[in-house]
Amino acid sequence: MATLSLENLRKQFAPKVVPVKDITLTVKDGEFLTLLGPSGCGKSTLLRLIAGLETPTKGTVKVGEKNLNKVPPGDRDMAMVFQSYALYPHMTVAENIGASLKLRKTPTDEIKHRVGEVAHRLGIEHLLDRKPGQLSGGQRQRVALARALVRNPDVFLLDEPLSNLDALLREQVRADLKQLFRSQNKPVVYVTHDQTEAMTLSSKVAVLKDGVVQQLDSPDRIYTHPSNQFVAGFVGSPQMNLITLRCENNHAIMGDFKLKLPNLTRNPSKVVMGIRPEDLAVASSEDAQTIQGKVFLSEQLGREELISLNVHGSEDIVLRSLVPSDHDWEGDAITLMIPPHKTHWFDIETGERLNREDYSPPVDSVPATAQNRAE
Amino acid sequence: MTQDAIRQRERRVGWWLITPALLVLLLVFAYPIGRAFWLSLFEQNLGTELTAEFNGLGNYARLFGDGRFWRSLWNTSVFTLVSIVLELVLGMAIALVLDKSFRGRGLVRTAALIPWALPTAVMGLAWAWIFNDQFGVVNDILGRIGLISEPITWLGDPFRAMLALIIADVWKTTPFIAIILLAGLQSISSDLYEAHSIDGANPVQSFFQITLPLLAPQILIALLFRFAQAFGIFDLVQVMTGGGPAGATEVVSIYIYATVRRYLDFGYGAALVVVTFLLLIIAVAIVGYLLSKTRINVTGER
């Protein structure tokens, strides 16, 4: 029964190298927090700070009420799965899994029992006598997982554990992971740059950029209500359309068309509009807000077709839209409707979300975004 | 053309291609070895007679009763064993230090290699002076810090002469071992240490459970090189003690040199060479076998 909490955590390597700036968040039992961000955003450093492989410059790492800043990694009761798996090459699979128990002077019988149990659960019993060098990538990954699970730790830390698997296997292991950690009911911190993993696995996602949490929210909120332009552009594939538009009396001007601005927190002269390709639909006659354009490229995705079009009246505006693939759109003119409630508006300078929505987020996921912006 | 015919032709071309290399090998390895063995079957002592006389295995029989040979073999073994153990321990310590990143590491790494780069004869002379009983630095320092009241003879005392040789050899070849071990250390991923520390290991446990096992191939390679070198040591001993006092530091190479060059006993000298050679081959074979085993052990691949 533990809650992992980070308070104003900061890591500074050099005056200009600050991978983690000021991060405050909590992860409760059974919560699956994903740290999502591009490479260099500080997500791995943050994980290493939690594990105790790095010492924070400022701030604290706590489990429950206990401050762990001075506690060495081995005494934190956290298990970590490394991106490289970090299996001990000279030990058999069984020795690898049992290493942590052996170091804690667990009786041999119990080690054997627990290793057998976890190996059974992960389906790697037949590999126990092999060395890591004789295993495939997927099997190594399972051994690394088993090594973490066998300890029954307070907190699980996973550093891009799926990135070395091929695409097909990754999808399958992802599903397994979700089930596995749901049954553990412990705090899990998972680092990835893959938004699909973040969306599918997590109960909470923290999107990081330059050592600052951009948004800490549930996966669907991250997707439907990105708190700024960076999150909007980073999460979602195909990427959200982000277009800079001029504003005139409460309307944004897109080529020959005017889009009504909602009640924004500010009324700027220019604004960034964001809309996901799948939210742009082929317009029917009764749709109020439509635009027209000429399709210059279509990409077949199987179920749908991704089309790129130039909006009439402004050749440099390119919109991408997912449309049913029953028709070859290339070269055609098309009318698309822009649903106001699925349109996101961002400040052109700060990237901040401008349209408020009638929603109050759950209490424990508010502070991070608000505080971190100060940095 | 059938598959077989192609393969056969390839094989023929292959043999043609390695013929020059084979010829060179035969010339520089096989012939001298064979010639030495042939010579060892003769009694040929230029000091007493000019014609060689076939003697069968007589030289080998003589070798078994030759106390001076066994003593030189013993001296060689002591020298080899003690110096290698010391070099391994010190070399490991230096390698571990050099593996850490600190300011001026490159400089220290280069400086550490200097003793190894010096010609043995030159550094042997220097060490002979260092251990000189009247003017040597060692006696001076020991005297100043009050450990000895009178100068001790280093190279004139059987035990201390061997000690001086070993110290000089350790000084010279520790850097070599350190560099080999350092290469091994740097190939060990830091992830392993981090995973081990999260598993609950302290640095000492990590050293014995991660570093040492993963370094086994490098340790064995270092052992192999050093064994072959130390077992055949000649120049250092020749310069520092010449095998004295009273044969206390006479190693096999020195004895063979004396047999051939001083007593001009070529036949017997050849027999000594053959026996020493065989002993070396056996030792190398054992280490080679262990090496192939640890490779399997470390990578798990056969």
Q: What would the mean pLDDT of A128-141 be, rounded to a whole number?
A: 89
pLDDT at A373: 40
The pLDDT-based confidence of B12 (bands split at 50, 70, 90) is very high
Q: Which residues of A touch B197 (CB under 8 A)?
A: 53, 72-74
A139: closest CA of chain B, how far (Å): 15
pLDDT at B181: 92
This prediction's pTM: 0.78
Question: What single-letter DSSP state applies at residue A28?
Answer: -
Per this entry, what is the length of chain B? Answer: 302
* Predicted pLDDT at A359: 45
In chain A, the residue whose alpha carbon lies closest to the alpha carbon of B190 is: A86
Write down the pLDDT at residue B299: 52
Any bridge partners for residue B112, and if so which?
Answer: none
Q: Is B298 in contact with A134 (Cβ distance < 8 A)?
A: no
| Chain A environment of B199 (Cβ under 8 Å) | 74, 99-100, 103, 147
Query: Is CATH 2.40.160.20 the classification given to domain B66-299?
Result: no
Residues A80-103 have pLDDT tens digits of: 999 988 999 889 899 999 999 998
Q: What is the largest CA-CA distance in chain A?
A: 77
Nearest to A134 among B214, B297, B300 (CB): B300
Residue predicted with more confidence, B260 or A49: A49
Reported as a single tens digit per residue, the pLDDT across A294-314 is 898 888 888 888 999 888 888
Residue B297: pLDDT band by 50, 70, 90 thresholds?
Answer: low
Whether the pLDDT of residue B241 is over 70: the answer is yes
**How does residue A1 score in pLDDT terms, banded at 50, 70 and 90?**
low
pLDDT (average), residues A350-370: 57
Give the residue from A12, A361, A359, A370 showing the smallest Cα distance to A214: A370
Is A369 a residue whose pLDDT tops 50?
no
| 3 state DSSP class of B160 | helix
Min distance B96 CA to chain A CA atoms (Å): 20
Residues 6 or more apart from A235 whose CB is under 8 A from it?
A: A36, A195, A198, A199, A207, A222, A223, A226
Nearest-neighbour CA in chain B from A231: distance (Å): 31
CB atoms within 10 A of CB B39: 19
pLDDT in tens, B164-188: 899 999 999 999 899 899 989 988 8
Sheet containing A241-248: order of strands: A257-260, A251-254, A241-248, A270-275, A344-347
Chain B residue with the nearest C-alpha to that of A51: B198
pLDDT at B89 over 90: yes
Which of A84, A100, A131 is closest, CB to CB, to B200?
A100
User: What mean pLDDT is predicted for residues A17-43?
Assistant: 88
Contact status of A53 with chain B (Cβ, < 8 Å): yes
Q: A98 touching B, CB under 8 A?
A: no
Domain boundaries, chain B: 66-299
Q: By the 8 A CB rule, do A234 and A221 touch? A: no
Tell if the CB–CB gap between B199 and A86 is shorter than 8 Å: no
Provide mean pLDDT across the span A71-79. 89
The three-class DSSP label of residue A305 is strand
Query: In the A/B pair of chains, how many CB contacts fall below 8 A?
Result: 68
A276 — pLDDT class (breaks 50, 70, 90): very high
Provide CB contacts within 8 A for A290, sequence distance 6+: A257, A283, A335, A336, A337, A338
Q: From residue B64, how far is each of A98, B33, B52, B56, B67 by CA, in Å? A: 54, 21, 22, 15, 8
pLDDT digits (tens, 9 = 90+) for B194-228: 999 998 888 899 999 999 989 988 888 888 888 88
Inter-chain CB proximity A99 and B199 less than 8 Å: yes
Res B298: pLDDT: 55
> B180: which residues sit within 8 A by CB, 6+ positions away?
B91, B218, B221, B222, B225
pLDDT of amino acid A375:
37
Phi then psi for residue B152, to 5 deg, are -100, 150
Q: How far is CA A25 from CA A43, A63, A234, B57, B63, in A?
A: 13, 12, 21, 86, 81
Q: Is A145 in contact with A174 (CB distance < 8 Å)?
A: no
Judge whether A325 and A315 are in contact, CB under 8 Å. Answer: no
- Give residue B16's pLDDT band: very low, low, confident or very high (50, 70, 90): very high
Structural domains of chain A, with CATH: 4-224 (3.40.50.300), 239-357 (2.40.50.140)
